[in-house]
Structure 1
Amino acid sequence: MSVTFKCRGKSTFKGISGKSQVLFGLVFTTRYLDLFTSFISVYNTVMKVVFLVLAYATVYLIYLRFRSSYDSESDSFRVEFLLVPVAGLSFLENYAFSPLEILWTFSIYLESVAILPQLFMITKTGEAESITTHYLFFLGLYRALYLANWVWRYHTEGFFDQIAVVSGVVQTIFYCDFFYLYFTKVLRGSGKMTLPMPV
């Protein structure tokens, strides 16, 4: 069986997983609770607020403003299969057993798997808009650049965050097939991507 990604020019939310967007909103919410407890810098505060606002604005657009173009039937991934194990793991593996630290750890673990509903939806429908493939590529690239940042920080500062690094590697692995097909199909202008899937 194979999945074909068709790159078309229609402006729609079809092909975008609302469930993945909700999970990303939850990621940023649980990660940035320190907005209420500590101040690092104006830049840090503004960026956290921007991430939160954009995450929930996207959820609003998908589920309310443009709900007629949202394919809820295909966005059927069972997110509880992600939330329950991630919540359990955040209690078992963290740096300090405190509410903020557990929620921060939860956000790191959840971010590593939050893209799965989106990848599942594309696999189920067999196609994605051109803008969706570009969106997924840059979302994956954003995470891959985190890995480069961690390597740089380790060599320059001796800093190593095992939880964040392992989770980042896991998330990047989920994107590997997509990256390969994006470079070999979409960027070469074939207009479609074929992802081999097991029967």
Structure 2
Amino acid sequence: MNLFRIAGDLSHLISIFILLHKMRISKSCIGISFKSQVLYLIVYVTRYLDLLWTFQHSVYNSLMKIIFIGSSAYTIYLMLNDFKPTHDPNIDTFKVEYLIGGSAILALLFPYKWTTAEVLWSFSIWLESVAILPQLFMLQRTGAGETITTHYIFALGAYRALYIPNWLYRYFMENYTDPIATVAGIIQTILYSDFFYIYYTTVSKGRKFELPV
């Protein structure tokens, strides 16, 4: 465990808090991609199957996994029930089948071991790297986003970006490498790059977040 890993996890937790706070305060899920939320739930469920046998070895990791799965499932529950009338499927139209299929192919081609758990873990890593695309696509289509929604996306992107120095730290200090997670993390950070730039030049300076449509 190092500072970058802890900062990344905290950023992830903050993104969850911001999302649920936004939905509860506004009593709506306007601007939130249901498809992205489903993809994230798939990511957490397929990655954290080891909860069944590793809780006693790392309380910190196990609690984080439970929080991620539970909060993701709760978000989807709210979007399907309490706030369903506020979700517009005509805007949330990204073809997630390609993301799931592409991630599955990469997982089958490049697992560390040919076991079910390892293939599912690899699948979750590749899928997480692109799970934000439906959300970014929604922003692109509308051309603007609520400030609190953009804060959520920024915190979620920062979480993964912070894992890059974490991997560098582990490489130099622990002689540990994880090529799949590193490459997927870099891809994910690149996907966020335009968003980060516009976020910095608008929201961080008190202006309305707007994307070119």
TM-score, with structure 2 as normaliser: 0.84
Aligned residues of 1:186 and 1:193 also touching (Cα < 8 A): no
For the pair 1:65 / 2:82, whether they are aligned, the reply is yes
TM alignment of 1:163-174, pairs within 5 A? 163-174=180-191
Match of 1:17 among 25, 33, 45: 33
Tell me whether 1:179 sits opposite 2:196 in the alignment.
yes
Aligned partner of 1:26: which letter?
Answer: I
The equivalent of 1:32 in structure 2 is: 48
Residue 84 of structure 1 aligns to a residue in which SS? helix
State the SS of the aligned residue for 1:135.
helix
Q: Report deviation, 1:28.
A: 0.4
The equivalent residue for 1:142 is 159
- Distance in structure 2 (CA, Å) of the matches to 1:158 and 1:181: 36
CA–CA distance in 1 between the matches of 2:210 and 2:172? 38
CA RMSD of aligned residues (A): 1.3
Q: Are 2:120 and 1:103 aligned?
A: yes
- Counterpart of 1:7 in structure 2 is none
The answer to whether the 8 A contact 2:44-2:124 is kept is yes
Preserved contact between residue 112 and residue 171 of structure 1 (Cα < 8 Å): yes
User: Which amino acid is the alignment partner of residue 45 of structure 2?
Assistant: T
Corresponding residue for residue 8 of structure 2: none
Q: For residues 113-150 of structure 1, give each alpha carbon's deviation from its aligned partner in whole angstroms, at most 9, with x where no partner exists.
A: 00001011111122211111111110100010111111
User: Which residue number corresponds to residue 64 of structure 2?
Assistant: 47
Measure the CA separation in 2 of the matches of 1:84 and 1:194: 28
Q: Distance in 1 between matches of 2:89 and 2:148?
A: 19
Give the distance between the partners of 1:119 and 1:22, measured in 2 at CA. 15
Q: Secondary structure at the match of 1:33?
A: coil
Given that 1:15 and 1:127 are in contact with CA atoms closer than 8 Å, whether structure 2 keeps it comes out as no
Structure 1 residues 76-132: Cα deviation after superposition (integer angstroms, max 9, x where no partner): 111101111111110011100100000000000000000001011111122211111
The counterpart of 2:94, out of the listed 60, 74, 77, is 77
* Count of paired positions: 187
Greater helix share, structure number: 2
The TM-score with structure 1 as length reference comes to 0.90
Distance 2:209 2:192 in 1: 17
Per-residue Cα deviation, 1:136-179 (whole angstroms, up to 9, x for no partner):
11010001011111111111101110000000000000000000
Between stretches 96-105 and 65-74, larger displacement belongs to: 65-74
Identity of aligned residues (%): 50
Q: Which moved more, 1:62-71 or 1:78-87?
A: 62-71
Structure-2 separation of matches of 1:146 and 1:157: 15
**Any runs of at least 4 consecutive aligned residues in structure 1 with deviations exceeding 3 A, and if so which?**
none
- Which SS does the other structure have where 2:54 is aligned? coil
State the alpha-carbon separation in 2 of the partners of residues 192 and 19 from structure 1. 22
Q: Separation in 2 of the partners of 1:106 and 1:41? A: 23
Q: Secondary structure at the match of 1:193?
A: coil
